[in-house]
């Protein structure tokens, strides 16, 4: 004979409510933790590749790492594009880009005093000779008057006239004024270029915190230790920096080779980025065409989340989010097998998200 124990209805209701409360709290905590973890976009390594692409060149290990982390290489054949196309550079640039890297071409501006026509002529040479992704404007001024701002805006407009998808990176090498971003004069700014010993005391301009981290790049040289290199990477994240490069190369030219701890730096950045893939809108562990489709479908949406295509957390699905997707395209935060095994399909993710939102609102 089976004995059935009847539960007091009041106790049953209390147990049910307690279980729901625990579930709501757990889901809300998970949702909150996930949101905090996505606050900073992934790092990319910005390498001043001022070394010739010959036999046993640093272009080799740099290219080998391009499928592990996002890398932007600044090519500089001869203080600019040089006087003629170089077949070794053509091969190196093509191989690096095929591996997943991005290349931008070096031009100098003498802090606004170089004739504009000379700068744009160098830009045109890069466009004619090499398949690249943008232009790096060195020796950029970091103050007014409007004449200087207009000079750099003219360079910016010339580059965008060649290809609107090309990136313009400006290098004042130190903090700059916000007008340079607003004018605009560049898409990204190299606002720190100095020895590693000075980096802990470096203070970014307060206005930097109001913009996406991918707007800012820090270069650190004469950093002898791989241990302190990793500390500099972590510090860069706290300073809202999306582009970083740390090397133990020294003056007078700290950019003429890769650091001896290059592989350790690549591994450290990859580890940091594993939790920071802002362009992975469907959270399947890879930034791919499905994420781009997700962004396209929600372009223009306000009060959006990362799932809608908002990579920088500003609530809007816009062009900045596309740039983030573009920089991270092809990157993965998990081994392929693990990603396939543990990441839910987008439809399941939607259900989880909706459930979390509903439960959080009911609390």
Flag whether pLDDT at 13 surpasses 60.
no
The pLDDT of 143-153, averaged and rounded, is 96
User: Same domain, yes or no, for 257 and 300?
Assistant: no
pLDDT value at residue 251:
98
User: Same domain, yes or no, for 354 and 238?
Assistant: no
User: Same domain, yes or no, for 199 and 95?
Assistant: yes
User: Same domain, yes or no, for 129 and 230?
Assistant: yes
The structure's pTM equals 0.70
- Per-residue confidence band for 38, with pLDDT thresholds at 50, 70 and 90: very low
pLDDT value at residue 33:
29
CA distance 46 to 244: 6
In a domain, 204, yes or no: yes
pLDDT value at residue 294:
87
**Boundary (domain end) residue, out of 273, 305, 333:** 273
Domain of 308, in residue numbers: 26-39+278-362
User: Same domain, yes or no, for 108 and 188?
Assistant: yes
CA distance 327 to 279: 8
- Per-residue confidence band for 136, with pLDDT thresholds at 50, 70 and 90: very high
Give residue for tokens 């479908």: 297
User: Same domain, yes or no, for 332 and 266?
Assistant: no
In a domain, 16, yes or no: no
The pLDDT of 86-105, averaged and rounded, is 98
User: Same domain, yes or no, for 182 and 290?
Assistant: no
- Per-residue confidence band for 353, with pLDDT thresholds at 50, 70 and 90: very low
In a domain, 17, yes or no: no
CA distance 304 to 156: 30
In a domain, 255, yes or no: yes
Question: What are the strands, taking DSSP E only, across the chain?
Answer: 44-49, 71-75, 102-108, 134-138, 167-170, 188-195, 216-221, 243-246
The pLDDT of 56-60, averaged and rounded, is 98
In a domain, 124, yes or no: yes
Least confidently predicted of 32-36, 264-268, 320-324: 32-36
Number of domains in the chain: 2
In a domain, 63, yes or no: yes
In a domain, 11, yes or no: no
**Boundary (domain end) residue, out of 239, 273, 307:** 273
In Å, what is the CA distance from 133 to each residue of 33, 234, 255, 320?
A: 35, 27, 20, 16
264-307 residue pLDDT tens? 999 999 999 876 677 887 756 688 898 899 899 999 999 776 66
217-264 residue pLDDT tens? 999 999 999 999 999 999 999 999 999 999 999 999 999 999 999 999
Flag whether pLDDT at 116 surpasses 80.
yes
User: Same domain, yes or no, for 173 and 254?
Assistant: yes
pLDDT value at residue 331:
75
More confident residue, 237 or 34: 237
User: Same domain, yes or no, for 120 and 85?
Assistant: yes
What angle in degrees, to the nearest 10, is found between the helix axes of 262-273 and 226-238?
30
For position 305, which CATH number holds?
1.10.1330.10
pLDDT value at residue 144:
87
- Per-residue confidence band for 325, with pLDDT thresholds at 50, 70 and 90: confident
120-134 burial, b at 16+ Cβ within 10 Å, e below that, comes to bebbebbbebbebbb
User: Same domain, yes or no, for 97 and 147?
Assistant: yes
CA distance 112 to 177: 15
DSSP string, 135-185: EEEES---S--HHHHHHHHHHHHHHHHH-TT-EEEE--SS---THHHHTTS
User: Same domain, yes or no, for 332 and 257?
Assistant: no
In a domain, 162, yes or no: yes
CA distance 188 to 136: 9
161-187 residue pLDDT tens? 999 999 999 999 999 999 999 999 999
Which tokens go with 280? Answer: 């992975």
CA distance 70 to 229: 18
**Boundary (domain end) residue, out of 206, 238, 273:** 273
Least confidently predicted of 14-28, 105-119, 134-148: 14-28
User: Same domain, yes or no, for 260 and 146?
Assistant: yes
For position 193, which CATH number holds?
3.20.20.80
């Amino acid at each position: 004979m089976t004995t059935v124990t009847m539960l007091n209805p009041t106790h049953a209701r209390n147990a049910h409510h307690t279980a729901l409360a625990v579930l709501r709290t757990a889901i809300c905590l998970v949702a909150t933790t996930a949101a905090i973890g996505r606050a900073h976009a992934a790092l990319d390594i910005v390498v001043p590749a001022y070394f010739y692409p010959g036999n046993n060149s640093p272009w080799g290990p740099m290219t080998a790492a391009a499928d592990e982390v996002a890398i932007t290489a600044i090519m500089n054949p001869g203080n600019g594009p040089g006087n003629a196309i170089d077949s070794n550079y053509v091969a190196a640039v093509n191989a690096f880009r095929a591996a997943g890297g991005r290349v931008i071409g070096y031009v100098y501006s003498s802090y606004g005093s170089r004739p504009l026509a000379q700068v744009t002529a160098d830009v045109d040479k890069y466009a004619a000779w090499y398949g690249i992704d943008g232009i790096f404007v060195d020796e950029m001024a970091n103050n007014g008057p409007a004449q200087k701002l207009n000079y750099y805006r003219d360079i910016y407009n010339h580059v965008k006239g060649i290809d609107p998808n090309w990136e313009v990176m400006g290098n004042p090498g130190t903090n700059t004024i916000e007008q340079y971003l607003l004018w605009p004069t560049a898409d990204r700014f190299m606002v720190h270029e100095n020895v590693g010993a000075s980096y802990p005391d470096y203070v970014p301009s307060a206005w930097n915190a109001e913009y996406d981290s991918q707007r800012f790049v820090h270069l650190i040289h004469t950093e002898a230790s791989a241990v302190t290199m990793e500390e500099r990477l972590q510090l860069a994240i706290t300073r809202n920096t999306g582009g970083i490069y740390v090397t133990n190369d020294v003056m007078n030219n700290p950019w003429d080779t890769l650091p001896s701890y290059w592989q350790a730096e690549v591994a450290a950045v990859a580890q940091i980025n594993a939790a920071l893939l802002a362009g992975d809108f469907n959270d399947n562990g890879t930034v791919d065409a499905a994420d781009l489709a997700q962004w396209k479908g929600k372009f223009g949406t306000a009060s959006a989340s990362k799932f809608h295509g908002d990579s920088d957390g500003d609530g809007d699905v816009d062009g900045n989010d596309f740039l983030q997707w573009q920089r991270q395209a092809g990157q993965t935060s998990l081994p392929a097998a693990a990603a396939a095994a543990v990441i839910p399909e987008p439809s399941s993710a939607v259900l989880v998200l909706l459930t979390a939102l509903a439960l959080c609102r009911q609390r």
